[in-house]
Amino acid sequence: MPTHWIQRTFERHLEAPPPSLRLFPVWLLLGPRQVGKSSLLTHCGPQRQYLTLDDLATRARAHADPVLFARELRPPLIVDEIQYAPQLLSPIKQLADSLGEPGCIWLTGSQNFLVMREVRETLAGRVAILNLLGLSDDEKQLGDAQPTPQGYFDALVRTGFPKLWSVDDPDARDLYLSSYTQTYVERDVRELLRVDRRREFEIFLRLCAMRTGCLVNFDDLARDAGVSAPTVKAWLSVLEDSFLIKFVQPEHQNRSKRLVKSPKLYFLDMGLAAHLAGWKTGELLRLGPQAGAAFETHVFSEICKRFRHQVREVDVRFWRTRDGQEIDLLVEHQGRVHPVEVKIGMPSPAALPPLTRIAAPNWERGQVVTLAVTTTQTLSAEWRAVPPWELAF
């Protein structure tokens, strides 16, 4: 386990907040469990009062009398895992209104649905919604090392969990991820949906991991998992609300009749997906049939981290026609669209989509993210090849 602090990109935005954050007295940090939300906030605000609702005794007092409990709050403060006591949001609203200072109250949550349902009703206009995911390649300093393809996949299966970054033993990592799945994922889903069919859900979760980076066929997934299509959609929704997966929708524009309409499913941590799918080492994953989808999944996750960890908004879609033309990712930011293709090896320029035929006026030059280069190279007037750590927007 790591014994030193891993610097997070988010730190500078908490310590020197941009103008967008200064508009809000409450900052809510959402993200999956065990990615370092509590550690980040206590590291950046060591002088703040800290309360965690993951502690059963603290949670019981908050449930018993939220008004009395709120009298113990002394801003600036941190309230961890707010989804366990959403009734505290009303007293927090009153506290924020009485102070009005930017970021005087920091909250964390691990279940987007439970938190946001109450936040929309109680803290509208007072709260900035932030996202923290696992360690990014920048935070792992992979660009400094410029790893080989094998080294990159070895880093990928270590996951983005800070506790696992320095763990080389596959058995230790496997035990941690098995425990994580059982204690957090399955528990959270059972709490949200009252799922009693544990075996079916375990199969469903592994099937999702095997489909990361692919189009979702809800009927096929339901048949393979042994449950109904509505059940699959409900379970997928909870996985997305728990920040384990994310759906990417197809680009439509004026070509809706020709474009596929099914979304693509991505895990937000490919290392966790590899564990669930049974790929225990980077070598097995790189040489296996899921290598391309795994690399694409990781690049998608890196794009999400690149923007979310810098308090920036981004919209990601994909472009694919029924006759086989495709662009893996269309990253839209500030009105500009950045086409991104993901290839482990170096593609032929002739095999890349002709952007001059399909691009809108707001499209930028395309980027091919590949492990075949260690620095940016020109492929054509329309495309350039970049290693993952030099992907730029």
Task: Flag the least confident range among 114-123, 130-139, 330-339.
Answer: 114-123
d(CA 376, CA 379): 10
Last residue of a domain, one of 131, 157, 185: 131
Residue 3 resides in a domain:
no
The SS3 assignment for 34 reads coil
Angle between helices 229-241 and 112-122 (to 10 degrees): 70
User: In angstroms, rounded to a whole number, what is the distance separating the alpha carbons of residues 66 and 171?
Assistant: 44
Choose one of 98, 113, 131: the last residue of a domain.
131
Sheet containing 377-378: order of strands:
214-215, 264-267, 245-250, 315-320, 326-333, 336-343, 366-370, 383-386, 377-378
pLDDT of residue 116: 77
Q: Which of 93, 87, 99 is nearest to 63 (CA)?
A: 87
Amino acid making up residue 207 = L
Could you tell me if 92 and 142 lie in one domain?
Answer: no
User: Are 95 and 152 within one domain?
Assistant: no
What's 29's domain CATH number?
Answer: 3.40.50.300
Please check whether residues 93 and 67 belong to one and the same domain: yes
Is 78 within a domain? yes
Domain around 122: 11-131
Q: Residues 164-180: pLDDT tens digits?
A: 998 989 999 999 999 99
Please report whether residue 184 resides in a domain: yes
Q: What is the pLDDT of residue 201?
A: 85
For residue 103, count other CB atoms closer than 10 A to its CB.
17
Is residue 186 domain-shared with residue 152, that is, in the same domain?
yes
**Is residue 2 domain-resident?**
no
Burial class, 138, CB count within 10 angstroms (exposed 0-12 / middle 13-18 / buried 19+)? middle
Query: Whole-prediction pTM value?
Result: 0.92
Q: Give tens-digit pLDDT for 204-221.
A: 999 999 999 999 999 999
Any idea what DSSP says for residue 104? -
Query: Does the pLDDT of residue 24 top 80, yes or no?
Result: yes
The predicted pLDDT at position 191 comes to 67
pLDDT digits (tens, 9 = 90+) for 242-278: 899 999 999 875 544 445 678 999 999 999 999 999 9
Provide the phi-psi class of 16: left if phi over 0, else alpha when psi is between -120 and 50, else beta.
beta
Ranges of beta strands (E only) in 158-308 are: 214-215, 245-250, 264-267
> Based on the domain organization, do 32 and 164 belong to the same domain?
no
Average pLDDT, the chain: 90
User: Which pLDDT belongs to residue 1?
Assistant: 41
Three-state DSSP state, 127: strand
Count up the domains in the chain and report the number. 2
Q: Residue 144: pLDDT band by 50, 70, 90 thresholds?
A: confident
235 & 184 share domain: yes
Q: Examine the fold and report which residue of 75, 97, 131 is the final residue of a domain before the chain moves on.
A: 131
Would 367 be classed as within a structural domain? yes
Average pLDDT (63-69) is 92
Co-location of 245 and 334 in the same domain: yes
Q: Do 226 and 361 fall into the same domain? A: yes
Examine residue 303 and state whether it is found in any structural domain, yes or no.
Answer: yes
